[in-house]
Structure 1
Amino acid sequence: MVRGLAIKLVGKKRREKIKKEKIKRVLIGGGRIGDIVVKTPMLEALSKLNEDVKIDITVVKGAKCLVENIPYINEVIEIDERPTRNKVIKSYRALAGALKNRKKYDLYFDFTNNCRFIHTLSLKLMAPKYLIGRYRLEKFGIKKDELTIFDSYIDVKDDAHAVDINMDYLKPLKLHKESKKYKLYLGKNEKKYENYFEKNKMNIVLNHRASSEPRSLTLEQLKDLSLKLINLNKDIIVHIISVPSEY
């Protein structure tokens, strides 16, 4: 009861009608490799918002190379923090990050659906002009669309693909019907690797690293999956994403 009241209190503000022409600075949480790849259509669509828009993106350490050459990215913010389950440390990081970006951005996307006090407080402290989020989990007596800190809510289907979810976040901006094709930019290495993939073959790239160790594929699972793909069709070539420490 008390927790619900506290969340409702910090999650309350005057809801604003989103005006695209007023959005100049945007912050997107890019995350890890897989998260970033499926967000590339969203990033490109956002670049068409208006002539003055500047898009910043946060990524984990080691993933900067995926976005640093995208021409419509203004700043890549690399987060070099060890994962932790310590609630005190996680809360401190969330609040410190929010204060660092306080009133710096016109638009921020919240990809979670939780109803946690610290998370809601960090959004309040960050104070973007517009905040787009998905419907909340109905907990602590809070309805799914009750927190007015969100200027627009997105309905996310449980079986929806990540790229579709990301594009749905652009519905309030009327950009959700843009291309869903993934795009990666190599910058000065574009020419060097233009013939890296065999164009007459079916190239499949596997990222076996998930958000946590238990969700990642083991070496045996990766080997089994790769062999099954190769045996499906003689024109299939499998490329495995890795990092130097496990190459």
Structure 2
Amino acid sequence: MLGLIGGMSAESTAVYYQAINRLVRERLGGLHSARLILWSVDFAPIAEAQARDDWAATGRELAQAAVRLESAGAEALLICANTMHLNAAEVQAGVSIPLIHIADATALALKAKGAARPLLLATRFTMEKAFYRDRLVAAGLPALIPAEPDRARLHAIIYDELVKGVIRAQSKALVMQMIARGRAAGADAVIFGCTEIGLLLDPDDLGLPAVDTAIAHCEAAADFALS
């Protein structure tokens, strides 16, 4: 029984629900679907806390969600977002069930593609803070990040468009240009390091191996649930 902490955003949480159920159906056949419980938070106050760098507040919110999911019968947890793994330690500390970490799932998927120097595309928090990149480094995958102007543009695309379900061709073109600059700087793969980026980009269009972290996370969850 998987416990999902979602709502960050609702757009990508829908991807999680569909992908996990699809993977379980593909592996078990017939009419099988996933056994899971979803706790969907209100993203607005969490985004406000992020903006003022109040990660203690976001940690409390997610830890409470984790406790509620465990009490409801969850046997493993997923935080359905990359940035909110900044609070992974607080979430894990509050429960006795395992947390399936998105960066670990991403690292496994990158290694399966033979990547060594991926370009990390994500929110400013995920690109600039150490919590995510350090975990990749520990897996032998030092990540490149875009230059500061591109980080600002990408962050705005995520928060002003993607989390609201707004998909714009102009924004896709801008991100494709960021990927081209990353490739010129030595990137050999691309990490969709925000769970909404897969709504904007198709990995098959990039000319580089790509890992959609939402899908990699779902695959790790299905592996765990069915093992």
Decide which structure has greater helix share.
2
> Is TM (by shorter chain) over 0.5?
no
Larger Cα Rg: Structure 1 or Structure 2? 1
| Higher strand fraction (1 or 2) | 1
- Larger relative CO (CA 8 A, sep 6+): 1 or 2? 2
TM-score relative to the length of structure 2: 0.38
TM value normalised by structure 1: 0.36
